[in-house]
Structure 1
């Protein structure tokens, strides 16, 4: 029994369940993903606020105002070098293009130039054209520039204009100089900036925010569900160390294969221990049966020998032959029963030893039985 118990302990140690480490790592990654989703949602909210119509137009007007101020400074530097020169308007146009091109290179998507009275000169668009390119100003834009020119001459400050051209927005800034007929202008066209397109952008961003929020909620729910599942699995593993009949409850998420594998392992371990206990009981029973059979067979052999001696002495009395034969038959029947008990298989005896003992018991001469 001691050998069986030690075998059970050694095999049980081989089937110890490992602690859950991967589950904690998975939970950490899920929480990191949830935090990243929250950060993305926050960035989308900030982007939505920054892309409101009024904010975009206000920032564009500030850039245009700064651009015309620099253009005026550039024109003054240019005029100081042409005070004593008289050139054609075409020459001025080419020279002022170089001035406006250098100024507007710092302003993406902004075009501009100068107005000599009401004629456009020095028109350049560094974002999309090369220096010295010939550009034409559309009628809508030219009309807005002239309207802003009149206001700037009247107020002496930068005049801004706003116009809707289908889905585009046209923004204009003009600064006239009181001491010079040369005025500076800048313009920016924002494409696809109508009220409907802006609404579509807001709806798109709102949808993305909603999706991100749902993703965060799903990740957090999955994280908490897995955390609870890990706690159930850990508690089940601790209980299985003392109670192999216990089975972990089924899970409805990614831990289901893990739970099923643990239950299968526990069932296999339970069957193994049951088989080892049965083997131990059979070994003990075989030893007990063999000992009892030997203890009974020795007096039975003496009884057979005595009956045979008595039968030889009573050969002259025929009426004693039948009872004596009946006793001999019963002794033979008991001997056959003892042989079957001695043939009871024991786990610690191999086939060769069992066969040798069986041959010894079936010796017809009876010498192996001490007769």
Structure 2
């Protein structure tokens, strides 16, 4: 039996070949679900495999997409990589994954290598404030889609962004805790020197201002010198933050918003080290809704990103043939997911530590791995 053609798929699905082509190239925003399901069923039944070599000759593009994430050490990025790969495989593409640890020079090397290998479309997830280090490659024709980073002044005109509204996410997290009655709040993060993190923190501050709380009077935890962003060491950054905040002489917070779920889970571990109960003694809210959030005890209140939809949108943009307007931003709304790690503040404030299993002074620098080459 010969190779199955796109025309055979179209006939089996009762659509035109151009409609099948639209699906294969990620152009599905105007396609009704029933049509998409018929085409996918026909592809599966006939065993159709797109001819990559022919497509490259026809479009001038390889069907390999580059994906650059901060680090799959954070499960959120591993989950995003998987969703992007699932979407890519459905349309006959493959994905090359790189971990940049938010180092501009490392990103540039990866982009140059991918370009030299014929990759013409890359999804970039580091959310650094500027794309200057990639401007010359973009000028050569690279199709660059930034993820979790809305368009910034000075970006090349051709760059497209797909992101949630991080300001709204930070606002939802902060407002959830203030609505429960918390007045002493802390924001815990690694470095805020990225667009997405800055947006989350500003949203948190807006939530406090909405109930006449002064954000400048609230502690802001941005990690240690040896863990600038904490993408690899996020849990340990959170744990160390908990020890520092609850081992001092100042009145500790009753509610905490963490930059991501791994930092939040580390913070929860730090509270338990000191005999404090997550939820009843101190409320903790994360960000991302990774799979571990619902599995933790108690389950973590968090801000959910529509990760599968965002991955499909990012892939569609990076494979676009030029029909869409360049330089646009796709901004999605995040969702608050309330679980058991958040509750009204305890009467009388946070109780004294019940145990002293691990003190802040016991956390040696050697307990936390460092990241060479990360942005300082």
TM-score category by the smaller chain?
under 0.3
Q: Which structure's CA Rg is the greater one?
A: 1
- TM-score (normalised: structure 2): 0.20
Give the structure with the larger helix fraction: 1
Say which structure, 1 or 2, has more relative contact order (CA 8 Å, 6+ apart): 2
- TM-score (normalised: structure 1): 0.20
